[in-house]
């Protein structure tokens, strides 16, 4: 098995941060390039809402800048030892953008947390991880939060 490029979608949720250890460990083990991808969810594309473009464009530009800063400062200590890292911030529908990056970058493995957004976000937008697992052009490792793992009997 050859793993040269690993995609790690990160939304800074507990689920994503839990999956980070897997992404880093496998990137080091296989000496693979690690792509950290954050997608600023474009709500207008999902809901079909019409929003004045000037204001919404300013909002999304601000959100993208904030996400880029968060991605830069996030996980600095944990990422030590990973030789090749590319950080990407995009705007769009998260699962669509994850799948596009996976195809465009010829990703060998996607590592994704199974619990990201909750509540109304989950209801409105569905599970990004589920959509990625179903449609990905490569294997996907989905990582559950520890409290959701089956407890050992004994």
Longest CA pairwise span in the chain (Å): 60
pLDDT along the chain (154 residues), means of 10: 94 87 94 94 59 62 74 76 90 94 98 70 65 95 75 54
pTM of the model: 0.79
Cα gap 40→92, rounded to integer Å? 6
Instruction: Enumerate the β-bridge partners of residue 33.
Output: 5
């Amino acid at each position: 098995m050859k793993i040269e490029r690993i995609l790690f979608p990160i939304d800074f949720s507990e689920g994503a941060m839990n999956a980070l250890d897997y992404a880093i460990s496998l990137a080091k083990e296989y000496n693979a390039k690690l792509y950290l991808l954050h997608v600023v969810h474009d709500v207008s594309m999902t809901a079909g809402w019409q929003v004045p473009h000037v204001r919404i464009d300013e909002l999304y530009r601000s959100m993208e800048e904030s996400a880029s800063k968060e991605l830069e400062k996030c996980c600095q200590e944990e990422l030590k030892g990973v030789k090749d890292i590319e950080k990407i911030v995009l705007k769009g529908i998260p699962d669509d953008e994850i799948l596009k990056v996976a195809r465009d970058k010829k990703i060998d493995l996607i590592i994704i947390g199974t619990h990201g957004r909750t509540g109304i976000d989950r209801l409105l937008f569905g599970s990004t991880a589920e959509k990625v697992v179903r449609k990905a052009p490569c294997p996907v490792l989905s990582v559950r939060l520890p409290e959701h793992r089956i407890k050992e009997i004994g």
